[in-house]
């Protein structure tokens, strides 16, 4: 079964507006959810009620539909330009990434809300703790 779920990812540098960096669709998945479950269980990992499986990266056929920043920036060789003029090959401290998705039906739309995360700088280790 193919699911028609539009997905969009935005990236916002600290305290700045977000830029859409990719749009793709769940129908681009190489393996269906049932195939992923079968693979998982046949490789020796038992599944239990309530277990969650992630889909992994969902990349479409076009450059703008690549599902990971590493793919979008072609391994760092082609940085993504944000609306602010800044570029990214990798997420930086202070960046906020948001994933949004929805399924569109005949006369209805089901949204999944936004999943947002902000990258924080690693804490500084005091000198006394380094010894």
* pLDDT per 10-residue tile (average), the chain, 131 residues: 87 94 91 86 89 84 90 94 95 96 93 95 89 74
Find the CATH number of the domain harbouring 60.
3.90.850.10
Number of domains forming the structure of the chain: 1
Query: CA nearest 65: which of 4, 21, 111?
Result: 21
- List the domain range (segments joined by +) for residue 14: 5-130
């Amino acid at each position: 079964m193919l699911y028609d779920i539009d997905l969009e990812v935005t990236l916002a540098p600290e305290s700045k507006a977000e830029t859409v960096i990719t749009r793709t669709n769940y129908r681009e998945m190489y393996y269906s959810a049932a195939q992923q479950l079968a693979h998982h269980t046949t490789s020796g990992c038992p599944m239990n009620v309530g277990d969650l499986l992630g889909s992994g990266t969902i990349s479409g056929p076009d450059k703008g539909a690549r599902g990971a920043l590493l793919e979008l920036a072609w391994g760092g060789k082609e940085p993504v330009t944000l609306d602010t003029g800044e570029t990214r090959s990798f997420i930086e401290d202070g960046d906020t990434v948001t994933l949004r998705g929805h399924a569109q039906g005949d006369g209805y739309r089901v949204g999944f809300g936004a999943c947002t995360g902000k990258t924080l700088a690693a804490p500084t280790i005091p000198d006394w703790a380094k010894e």
